[in-house]
Structure 1
């Protein structure tokens, strides 16, 4: 709440309940362009009766739909940041490949540092209000692919 209060005191508009897979269609956001769009640790949840491939498919679809929408909303030199775990099951999300399929280029991938997001806490998407260990993870920074000079 303190972060929200701080943002509002600086004149920022704080919005909740926006579907990351449909942001380009949102009534108040669709006409805007952003320098940065950040999605930390996208995760579609776990369902114990689903196979690993089904779960991976849901996670990849979430990332794909987010990137497809975010691409429409970044400025010419804008960036889309996705912070993501890089080990085990999470390493199979194929974030870089999905971004490339949407015409985005990887600008850099850097070690995720919680300190870059004051007040940010990781939260499991299920099972209460517990934090998860974000290590090892990276922040992947994507931009629009540019055409080579003629």
Structure 2
């Protein structure tokens, strides 16, 4: 039985192929909230003709829009998980700062463990070579800042 089938047998809602920047579209979830929203290795694409700074802005914009939207559909104690590389260019995405600007706080950031995602494979490696190395990476876990949780109660 696949992981998706196991989750569905437990009455979990499993969705993929969703535009990460539009997760609050009313027709997608009809007002549902979620305990966990997971986004493994967000990546806006390869931009060979753009400068490093312009490319960084595209990646940051993708994650920022995702966080802004995902925040609206997590429950009071819900979490947003982003697995993300922690070396070189990726560290400049400043996930913690970005999340904070959207009213989210870092709960923890353990090292990414691919065994947590049995049979997980990324779609593309660097340059589209189908050989993406997930390490070094962390899974950043964000939740609502405490003041917002009190407002929701």
TM range (shorter): 0.7 to 0.9
Q: Distance in 1 between matches of 2:44 and 2:125?
A: 8
Stretch deviating more after TM superposition (98-107 or 116-125): 116-125
Other-structure match for 1:60: 60
- Map residues 72-91 of structure 1 onto 2, 5 A cutoff: 72-91=72-91
Q: Distance in 1 between matches of 2:119 and 2:93?
A: 27
Other-structure match for 2:17: 17
RMSD: 2.3
Stretch deviating more after TM superposition (49-58 or 124-133): 124-133
**Structure 2 residues without counterparts, runs of 5 or longer:** none
1:115 and 2:115 are equivalent in the alignment: yes
Stretch deviating more after TM superposition (31-40 or 10-19): 10-19
Other-structure match for 1:100: 100
Q: Do the aligned residues in 1 keep the contact of 2:125 with 2:131 (CA within 8 Å)?
A: no
| TM-score w.r.t. length of structure 2 | 0.86
**Structure 1 residues without counterparts, runs of 5 or longer:** none
Classify the secondary structure of the residue corresponding to 2:29. coil
Other-structure match for 1:41: 41
Stretches (4+) displaced over 2 A: 1-17, 125-129
Classify the secondary structure of the residue corresponding to 2:110. strand
Classify the secondary structure of the residue corresponding to 1:122. coil
Change (3 A) 1:106 1:8: closer
